[in-house]
Amino acid sequence: MPLIDPTSRAIINGLQGGFPLTPRPFRDAGLELGLSEGELIEGVRDLVGAGQLSRFGPLWNAEMLGGDVCLAAIAVPPERFDEVAELVNAHPEIAHNYERSHALNMWFVISAEDPRRIAEVIAEIEAETGLGVHAMPKMHEFFVGFRVEV
């Protein structure tokens, strides 16, 4: 694992769990971190570009906005994993996609503006891949505060 420079460390540690909702959020967040607006924007861009952050952006609560979210999993033959991941990830409704050491080795989250779209996305993925998708809709939500200090 590559070493993380002090600026990247400050960005990762400082932006977990909140980002200012202001007209100039990068300027305001940068002030808290001792960085200029440009340094923060460039630092985030570099972290994402280097793969040290998988993404940087808002996490919308689809349900509070009238949509829905569903955890799903597929048992993918190992030799097809990359192909199937590409097909699944091509859907804009896919928020996260992870490989797991389990019979159901591909897990992903479907997030849609219209709750009916969840079933449509599942049907599309099944048609495109020829594999069954196991939908696991949320029964109850728990909030677990999670921070990773680097």
Is 32 in contact with 17 (CB distance < 8 Å)?
no
Look at residues 15, 22, 104, 2 and name the one whose alpha carbon lies nearest to residue 55.
Answer: 15
96 in active site: yes
Q: Hey, is 132 helix, strand or coil?
A: coil
Is 8 in contact with 58 (CB distance < 8 Å)?
no
Catalytic residue among 91, 96, 102, 140, which? 96
Which residues are known catalytic residues?
96
